[in-house]
Structure 1
Amino acid sequence: MLGTILAVTLAAASLLAPPVAVPAGAQDAADAKGPVGRASGLPIPRFLSLKADKVNVRSGPTRDHAVAWVFTRAGLPVEVTAEFETWRRIRDSDGSEGWVYHSMLSSRRTALVSPWLKGEPTTLYASADKTSGVRARLEPGVLGKVEHCDGKWCRFFDNGFDGYVEQERLWGVYPGEKID
């Protein structure tokens, strides 16, 4: 009985709640790919990167929550797993999670070379083909920018290297994700 009353009360409350504005195209993205954040209207989860060299990660989504740790390198990829107003819950490549203020994140896509493969280099190819020339062997944890992924290969570059990496060897893009 209490459960029925609670369900009816919640249903009535949802009818009284003001509509949430969703950016144009975000609903189409949600329908095609899954859930979106209420604050941004963008897909959850999604990858972004850190905008600054010093980013405080908090235990909760306000400045009143304690700083759990501090990132000290701009450009690191993080996965947004939830949103609360202007705060984003993020996960790093080690699986650690915390909250950061939204303005500390950039939509620029970056990735880390297979941080889970300690000591095993990843090959950077001249083109999106294993028969193309080898440009470099990248150690796990190398940070680079990601551009154009076709679901199997990504162009991966930074100062000193430029080529293609098998998408499954990068943390910062989803398996099969396409990026133009």
Structure 2
Amino acid sequence: MKKLKVKTITVVVAALLLSLNANVFAQSGIGRGDGRGNNPNQQMGYFCNIPDLTEDQQNQIDKLRIAHIKEMQDIRNQLGEKKAKLQTLQTADNADMNEINKLIEDMGTIRIEKQKKAAAHRQAVRNLLTDEQKVYFDTKRRGSGAGMGKGCGFGHGQGRGNGLGKGSCRRWN
């Protein structure tokens, strides 16, 4: 009888510990995270800290930004199609290495085109700025890379830094 009580208590305690353990591991915790918070204005981060932007400058930058986003979306779509095709080729039973290598080179060409267009866009925005504004534009991160932004990241916990999102942006507060 006493052995039965000890076994029952042991099983109950073990089950309780396992259920508590599952809850602990289900929590995301606080950590670096990816930092891309839920912010509808994250695309605006690259010029919100530039001092003394005129209304005309803001409008011109917005027009450039919208045109750039449309242009980049087409390039991203092309790259996505190539990635999907590459995945299909690489997982085939008889992978054609010539076709795989050609596709990898095509993807490299698209990435080069994407970087060139991004550089041209940055220069077009920069050309609208005064010398003082250019200093801010050139020295401030424009919302790229891990750890930028305020808000919950895709990683573990809160994102860090100031780049994406409202944060301390004077223009959007």
Verify same fold: TM over 0.5: no
Greater share of strand residues, 1 or 2?
1
> What is the TM-score when the length of structure 2 is the normalising length?
0.18
Greater share of helix residues, 1 or 2?
2
> What is the TM-score when the length of structure 1 is the normalising length?
0.17
Q: Which has the larger radius of gyration?
A: 2
Report which structure shows greater RCO (CA 8 Å, sep ≥6): 2
